């Protein structure tokens, strides 16, 4: 079975057709030297973040040592205050891979997301909420969530602890997680359906992205050099087809890549 990952889920919430096509790999993957550099930087930042958690264990190593156990069974045996990185979880047709999970004294979990930005962004809430939703389906209680992003006050020579700013976003997530849980079954049904859903623009951020694309379509040199009716056709096509909203995918994918964990494609998890 192919699972729905974070990128597919969030793209669906922007536009159902966008999520449907993302699930089927109908968009080009990021490539080129620039993307390779961004990926490398993201991985290095993620490695620095791991230094903040003494004794942290790798989810991949745990799985190799206990291949007959599920992820939720593996983390139960961790000690209080012990952390695990990049553990993969599957529940109800969804796939999640939180950056870091730390076990708390009441056996709940503190989830950390590592970001390479230098300020908190609203979309980070969506990233974490998806992970919390998947974990909740497995009975894993996340009682605290934080984002680790780059500190603007960091200077060369400072330690790893000075590299990051931690923001507690637990309260911000409560309603968002409830929203995701309420629509999860619908997303799963429509994304798995063989019939492509009708494009519907659901997010304000998506409309902003669309406006930018329309501007590019209308003022780009190739378009200007063509008759006016061609301009209208291109703009209309961009408006009614989510296939042309590739920049949304680039944004979500780069965000996930820079967290140190390159976005998992559905073909990676069977």
pLDDT in tens, 215-237: 544 554 544 444 444 444 444 44
173 plus 104 within the same structural domain: yes
Q: What is the pLDDT of residue 81?
A: 94
Residue-level pLDDT at 136: 95
Would residue 158 count as lying in a domain?
Answer: yes
Within a domain: 1:
no
Residue 257 is assigned to a structural domain of this protein: yes
Is residue 52 one of the residues assigned to a domain? Answer: yes
- Exposed / middle / buried, residue 152 (Cβ in 10 Å: 0-12, 13-18, 19+): exposed
If asked whether residues 28 and 78 sit together in one domain, one would say: yes
Asked whether residue 108 falls in the same domain as residue 218, the answer is no
**CATH number assigned to the domain comprising residue 184:** 3.90.320
Q: 74-91, pLDDT tens digit by residue?
A: 998 899 999 999 999 999
The two structure tokens encoding residue 176: 């968002």
88 and 218 part of one domain? no
Task: Give percent of the chain with pLDDT exceeding 70.
Answer: 74
Closest to 133 (Cα-Cα) out of 100, 167, 174: 174
> 229 and 134: one domain?
no
155/226 same-domain check = no
For residue 235, what pLDDT is reported? 40
pLDDT at 256 > cutoff 80: no
Residue 112 pLDDT exceeds 80? yes
Judge whether 78 lies within some domain.
yes
The domain tally of the chain equals 2
Mean pLDDT of 57-66: 89
Neighbours of 11 (CB within 10 A): 26
Q: Give the domain extent around 72.
A: 6-199+243-268
Residue 251, Cβ density class (10 Å: 0-12 exposed, 13-18 middle, ≥19 buried) = middle
Reading the block at residue 116, the tokens are 């390479």
Residue 228 lies in a domain: yes
Q: Are the CB atoms for 95 and 2 separated by under 8 Å? A: no
Do 65 and 138 lie in one domain? The reply is yes
On whether residue 171 sits in a domain, the answer given is: yes
pLDDT of res. 265: 45
Whether residues 10 and 94 share a domain: the answer is yes
6 closest CA partner among 169, 191, 148, 147: 191
My answer on whether 155 and 212 are in the same domain is no
Average pLDDT for the chain: 80
Same domain (yes/no): 67, 165: yes
Residue 206 pLDDT: 52
Strand 89-91 to 94-96 pairing: antiparallel
**Same structural domain for residues 234 and 256?**
no
Do 98 and 146 lie in a common domain?
A: yes
CA distances 70 to 31, 130, 188, 192, Å, are 33, 20, 22, 24
Is residue 140 assigned to a domain? Answer: yes
Residues 14/203, Cβ–Cβ less than 8 Å: yes
Indicate the length of the chain as a whole number. 270
Task: Kindly report, residue by residue over 31-55, the tens digit of the pLDDT.
Answer: 788 888 888 888 999 999 999 999 9
């Amino acid at each position: 079975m192919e699972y729905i990952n974070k990128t597919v889920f969030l793209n669906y919430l922007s536009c159902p057709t966008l999520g449907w096509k993302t699930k089927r790999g109908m968009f080009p993957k990021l490539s080129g030297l620039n993307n390779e550099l961004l990926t490398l930087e993201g991985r290095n930042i993620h490695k620095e973040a791991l230094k903040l958690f003494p004794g942290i264990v790798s989810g991949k190593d745990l799985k190799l040592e206990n291949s007959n156990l599920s992820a939720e069974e593996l983390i139960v045996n961790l000690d209080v205050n012990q952390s695990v990185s990049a553990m993969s979880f599957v529940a109800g047709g969804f796939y999640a891979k939180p950056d870091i999970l730390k076990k708390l004294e009441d056996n709940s979990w503190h989830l950390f997301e590592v970001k390479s930005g230098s300020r908190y962004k609203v979309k980070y809430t969506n990233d974490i909420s998806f992970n919390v939703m998947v974990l909740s389906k497995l009975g894993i209680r996340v009682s605290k969530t934080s984002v680790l992003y780059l500190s603007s006050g960091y200077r060369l020579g400072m330690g790893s602890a000075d590299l990051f700013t931690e923001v507690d976003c637990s309260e911000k997530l409560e309603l968002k997680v409830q929203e995701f849980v309420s629509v999860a079954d619908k997303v799963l049904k429509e994304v798995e359906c063989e019939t492509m859903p009708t494009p519907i623009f659901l997010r304000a951020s998506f409309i902003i992205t669309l406006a930018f694309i329309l501007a590019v379509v209308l003022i780009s040199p190739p378009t200007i050099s063509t008759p006016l009716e061609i301009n209208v056709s291109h703009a209309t096509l961009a408006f009614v087809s989510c296939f042309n909203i590739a920049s949304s995918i680039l944004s979500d994918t780069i965000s996930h890549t820079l967290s140190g964990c390159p976005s998992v494609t559905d073909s990676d998890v069977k």
